[in-house]
Each structure stands twice: as structure tokens, then as C-alpha cells.
Amino acid sequence: MSAQEFAPGLVIQHFAPPLRLSDFKAIAFDMDSTLISIECIDEIADAVGKKAEVAAITEAAMRGEITDFKDSLRRRVALLQGVPAEALQEVYDQRLKINPGAPELINAAKAAGLQTLLVSGGFTFFADRVRDRLGMHEAHSNTLEIEGGLLTGRVLGDIVDGEAKKQHLLRLCERIGCDPRQSIAVGDGANDLLMMGVAGLSVAYHAKPKVREQAMVAINEGGLDRVLALMT
């Protein structure tokens, strides 16, 4: 079906509601600008006066103009070399806010029996805390290297990019014994598209144009819980 506005700021395409939340078995979320209001890496960079430089790379990556997410992340993290580790806690305490509707959607999903997954190209310092704060089942993200109380400008281990996000969702579905089409994926940037592409329901939240165009549902106004309007 062609795209149509189901309600103000809630656009649906490629399927016809209503759906039952209980028909799904898993729901996966991006973190930065999806579950939370900020891009954490941009706010960390602000501690060393490099927010504009880092944010420009972040924005280009999320719009899909930089196709190699791993390279873009390494470039941005390199600019964080020398940032005191305490800056992470300051960003969490002073700048990070949970986006409207996130607790309501996650609680509704858990009540319906869904496994909840946070999968992020951001950082474990924030992702693990957001997971616990929202009562989610699991989180996967990137680990910043810290030596002598300072960020080294490097990421430890494999980088969680778009392909890794997809694989984490597929592995979750395999573990709980469901078809990927019984999953929901929610994101805002280009590196969420692979994950959204394997899910049975893809939701773009205040997303970049490329993501809005490809998602089954686009929430352009209001909170994440607006997706529940499509459910019975």
C-alpha cells in the first residue's frame, strides 16, 4: 500500500494496521536519538571543544552519506583522545534524557512477552545504563578504551555497525525460536536500515529522510509509544 498518515505525524506504509503486539516476539532499538535524546559521542566531544567537528561526521553517517560506519566511528573517537573519563558520567547525568514514550513502549512490549534488545553504534557506558534504566533484557554496543583516566581515542574489539545490529537481532530471534518477521526494529539513522530490513515491522523515529522512506512506520511527531496506536 502507498504511504498514508494514520494520525498526525504517524505515517504508515507497506502494511495495513491494526496489528497485535503479542504476535511479535522481540523488539530491537537503536539508542542515540532513538531511545535517548542525544548523540552521546557529540556531547563527549563537547568536553574538548570538538562537538561541531564530530557532530558533522555523525550527521553525515546517520543520513547515509558516509557508508563506512566503522571508519566514521573511528574518525570521531580519535578526536576524543585525552578526554577525561569523568566526562562520560557528566554527559549521562546532565545531558542524556530518555525520549518520550520509550518506557511506555518497552513496558507494553515486555507485558506482551517480547524480548527487548538495545543495539547501538554508541558506547557501553551509556547503553548498559539505559538498558538497566528502562528494564530491557540486553544491550550491545561499543567500548571506549580508557587508560590513566583518559580516553585513548580508540574503540576496543569489534565495532557495532549496521551489519552487527542486524546480526544481533537475528541471533536473538534464533535464541528465542522466532522468525525475524516476528520482530520489531526501531531506529533513526542509516546504520539501522539493515536491522530494520529483516524485521517484520520497522519503525523510523524522528528519523533521517532515507530511513523514513524505507520504514514501514514513521513517527514524525510525538513519542515512541505512538506505535502502540497501530496495535490491538
Q: Are residues 30 and 130 in contact, defined by beta-carbon separation less than 8 angstroms?
A: no
Instruction: Assess whether 23 carries a catalytic annotation.
Output: no
Q: Is 112 helix (H, G, I), strand (E, B) or coil?
A: coil
| Residue tagged active-site, from 30, 188, 192, 225 | 30
Instruction: Assess whether 68 carries a catalytic annotation.
Output: no
User: Given its phi and psi angles, is residue 227 left (phi above 0), alpha (psi -120 to 50 degrees) or beta?
Assistant: alpha
Residue 58 CA to residue 44 CA, distance in Å, equals: 13
CB atoms within 10 A of CB 18: 10
Q: Position 224: which residue type? A: L
Q: Is 113 helix (H, G, I), strand (E, B) or coil?
A: coil
User: What are the backbone angles phi and psi of residue 144, rounded to the nearest 5°?
Assistant: -80, 135
| Residue tagged active-site, from 23, 32, 93, 128 | 32
Residues designated as active site = 30, 32
